Structure 1
Amino acid sequence: MNVRSVMTPDPATCQASTPVREIARLMLENDCGLVPVIDATGRPLGTVTDRDIALRVVAEGRDVHSCTAQDCMTSPVTTVSLDSSLSETTDLMEREQVRRMLVVDRDGRLCGIVAQADIALSGRDRRTADLVEKVSQPQQH
């Protein structure tokens, strides 16, 4: 089984110049905690997570109205290809200490995101998959 079969395709993205407030709005609207930062050709430059915003903007007392993705993104970013195996991807996630990875096509353009939960849900262990699914459910506010 490969990444293509379990990834979330066409995620919400932003540019390096996108204001942090707009990125937070994208996260809210798309129920996600990570937004890839891409260049004009669709190639990943980095990522902005809800944690990046909390620690690199809010906790540092920076002005949320003037900060952009460039100011708080994690870069460079490690990617996997559409045809990467799930075991290779899991090993890479473990090595990089990340829960989500950007998926790129042959030209290096972003085409999806794969999360540990996606991989776990594809496994044969139904109890683990059920637990991951429960933990991954969005909270009702």
Structure 2
Amino acid sequence: MEARDVMTPDPACCSPSDSVKDAAALMVGNDCGEIPVVDEGGQLVGVITDRDIACRCVAEGKSADTPVEEVMSSSLVTVTPDARVDECCKKMEDNQVRRLPVVDDQGKCCGIVSQADIALHADKAETGNLVREVSEETEKAATVGCC
């Protein structure tokens, strides 16, 4: 099974200049916790997560009108549509992330693979291992995507 088989295709995206409020509205409207951030050419330049909004915007007293680029995560871990699901799991585990943007050959976001996608399609052992590894506290995890 490959990323293309489990990913959410064509996710809602925002631009770096969009407001945090607009990104949050996209999260609500699409029932998700991460929005890919793309430039004018559609290239993936970052992601904004609900955690980014809480830690880098709200906790720091910034307004809802703050541009996404000020609080987004720009060190990206991505996969291609032909990545095997076990490779997706390994990347999530190694980087302790719950979602992976899927990019095409031109670097454009064409999907997202989440823990939930894997839980719906992978076997129970693989899913349990993924959740355990991603959730394990490490020094790196304590600082990624926050304050």
1:97 aligns with 2:96: yes
Q: Secondary structure at the match of 1:111?
A: strand
1:113 deviates by: 0.2
Aligned residues: 128
1:36 aligned partner: 36
Amino acid at match of 1:79: T
SS in 1 for 2:79: strand
**Greater alpha carbon shift after TM alignment, 37-46 vs 79-88:** 37-46
1:90-129 alignment, distance < 5 Å: 90-125=89-124
The alignment-based identity, stated in percent, is: 49
Cα RMSD of the aligned pairs, angstroms, is 1.7
CA distance in 2, matches of 1:25, 1:88: 31
TM-score (norm 1): 0.85
| 1:124 Cα deviation after fit | 3.4
Q: Distance in 2 between matches of 1:91 and 1:39?
A: 28
Aligned to 1:8: 8
1:16-95 equivalences in 2 (<5 Å): 16-65=16-65, 67-95=66-94
Whole-angstrom distance in 1 between the partners of 2:46 and 2:36: 6
